[in-house]
Amino acid sequence: MKLHHLKGEVCPDCGARVKTEEQTSQHCNGEWFERRLYLCGAEQRWIPNFSRMQWSAPCPNSPEQLAEKQRLNMEAQKLVNYIRKSAFTADEQSKIFDRIRYACAFDNHIFNSAGETR
């Protein structure tokens, strides 16, 4: 499909190719809402209301997103280390880690590097 407003065949941050693109609905001014999803997960939209492009999902490989992910993982590592040194039993720690793991998108190695066996 050829979109009218969203240009570019690759994610500007990481070079990932387009996964899907579509015109989702037509505005009363005649222009179409456009959506383009890249293989990396970044999602770009054209909003005809104000004739503007916006990113509804940033590229996970952009410098800003990588820095944020690194910051979150560093803080999560501190939390895991604290829990490991606490008086919680191994079983209790495992349950806490399960909650943290699924509540946040931290890298799994954080939990393994702290000594967790699974």
Contact positions toward Zn ion, by CB under 5 A?
11, 13-14, 16, 40, 42, 59, 61
Q: Which one, 13 or 34, has the nearer CB to Zn ion?
A: 13
Distance between CA atoms of residues 89 and 110, nearest Å: 19
For residue 6, which phi and psi values (nearest 5 degrees)? -80, 115
CB atoms within 10 A of CB 38: 25
Q: How far is the CB of 110 from Zn ion (least distance, A)?
A: 24
Least distance from Zn ion to the Cβ atom of residue 13, Å: 5
Task: Count the Cβ atoms, other than its own, within 10 Å of residue 92.
Answer: 12
Nearer to Zn ion, 3 or 39 (CB): 39
Shortest CB 20 distance to Zn ion, Å: 14
Nearer to Zn ion, 47 or 66 (CB): 66
Q: How far apart are CA 71 and CA 77, in angstroms?
A: 10
